[in-house]
Amino acid sequence: MTLLANSAAARDIENQVHPQTNLRLHREQGPFIVDKGAGVRVFDDDGRDYIETVAGLWCAALGFSANERIAKVAYEQLRTLGYYHSYRHRANHPSIDLAETLMRLAPVPMSKALFFSSGSEANDTAVKLAWYYHHAIGKPEKNKIIGRDKGYHGSTIGAISVSGKPDMHADFGLPLPQFRHAEMPHYYRFAEPGESEADFATRLADNLEKLILDEGPETVAAFFAEPVMGAGGGIVPPESYFEKVQAVLRRYEVLFVADEVICGFGRTGNWWGSQTFDLQPDMISCAKALSAAFQPISALLVNEKIYQAMLTESDKLGSFAHGSTYSGHPVATAVAREVIAIYEEEDLIGHAARVGGHMLRRLSELAEHPLVGDVTGVGLLTGVELVQDKATRQPYDPEFGLGARIDRHGHQNGLILRVVGDRIVFAPPLIISEGEVDEAVDRFRRTLDDTWAEVRELT
């Protein structure tokens, strides 16, 4: 690919490193430059439109348009107080308001909110607080953290260690040694022949218990789980899974951290995925739709048990020695509070449940396609499993690169897709209409047809 010397693409290649990108290939083909947005669509620098099927990175809940209401809030806050920190007893009104709002909305009683700039930071803090809590109650040996295969909790050292993503561990010297991983609850892919969802859930809960016993319950501090696994492929848990898993955690006094970074604020058709699946976590991390991606902000909510342990440690050590420069940033918290007000005023949570049902029905119509093995979803989050053999559920060889072929054809058909191996995940902005869902599904059907034609030519 030949690029003009001073073009935006050439300048990008020479000056910027992109996350989750083949860096050598990027030097050869250059970036896809998004120039503007409107609703659920983005436009490249040639003016061509694409329906964004996963809200950017699961986060642009209000879409990609200029939002004058949010812009005004940010502008007024920048004029009033553009920054101040929250260290050593300092506070600002927007962060106080947002913390109070999150306590009101929390799916189970929570005591306090801690603010950061990313989901990774929130989950890293949850790891630290699990260790902190057990030090406070006199059990410092409880320091092992259990995540799940293909779970994702962020890119920082602790968050990626609890994540079950070998590709993101490779050659970074990770995960850290005290992290373990249980099985992912992917019923379609891993259930045994004839095994019901309930039986599959029982087997996974029994295996989690065995893992805890093998490690020694006196050494296991916490278990992390997303209500629906996002980067794992939009994996909806099977019937009774969390009921059985939570019983195991209670039996061995293992803290439960619900990672709501993707699921929080309407994605599953409720305010929280914890409500959708009746979770009772000790800590809840959230980000992404917290500000609809208009500002970088995250929060970790802790229950009273965790907070009392934090008080104990603060008494012992003199202070709570944790934080970040932008914790409780007044502009970010003001924007997040206004975004939540929009969710409430426009009933976007109810809208997500209604339109999500329509999206699942429309995508389920594709189950007869030769490439589609399974379609599952909840709210505005649906995963489509691609297979080579529908009867045996056999996937294509990874070297065949089916996902990359789908992604390329989707791009040609005006779709930005989230491809996870042999799964395509749909999690569009919460504002998407049924008509826009129909258009996206029609474009996806063409994408499947184009890919199938290519597959038949090659096999």
Q: Which two tokens stand for residue 392?
A: 């045996």
Average pLDDT, the chain: 97
CATH number assigned to the domain comprising residue 450: 3.90.1150.10
Q: Distance between CA atoms of 168 and 163, rounded to whole angstroms?
A: 9
pTM score of the predicted model: 0.96
Q: Distance between CA atoms of 70 and 343, rounded to whole angstroms?
A: 12
On whether the CB atoms of residues 443 and 413 are closer than 8 A, the answer is yes
Q: Tell me which of 307, 324, 345 is where a domain ends.
A: 345
Q: Is residue 266 part of a domain?
A: yes
Q: Say yes or no: 97 and 52 in one domain.
A: no
State residue 3's pLDDT score.
66
Q: Say yes or no: 364 and 231 in one domain.
A: no
Q: Say yes or no: 318 and 436 in one domain.
A: no
Residue with tokens 């250059």: 30
Q: Is residue 27 part of a domain?
A: no
Q: Say yes or no: 78 and 56 in one domain.
A: no
On whether the CB atoms of residues 261 and 122 are closer than 8 A, the answer is yes
CATH number assigned to the domain comprising residue 88: 3.40.640.10
Counted domains in the chain: 2
Q: Is residue 6 part of a domain?
A: no
Q: Say yes or no: 377 and 294 in one domain.
A: no
Element (H, E) at 112: strand 112-116
State residue 1's pLDDT score.
53
Q: Is residue 1 part of a domain?
A: no
Q: Say yes or no: 55 and 145 in one domain.
A: no
Q: Tell me which of 345, 360, 383 is where a domain ends.
A: 345
State residue 434's pLDDT score.
98
Q: Say yes or no: 411 and 443 in one domain.
A: yes
Q: Say yes or no: 260 and 366 in one domain.
A: no
Q: Is residue 18 part of a domain?
A: no
Q: Say yes or no: 416 and 322 in one domain.
A: no
Q: Say yes or no: 40 and 139 in one domain.
A: no
Q: Say yes or no: 84 and 231 in one domain.
A: yes
Q: Tell me which of 345, 365, 384 is where a domain ends.
A: 345
Q: List the chain residues with pLDDT less than 70.
A: 1-4
Q: Say yes or no: 210 and 77 in one domain.
A: yes
Domain of 362, in residue numbers: 32-66+348-458
Round to the nearest angstrom and report the end-to-end CA distance of the chain: 29
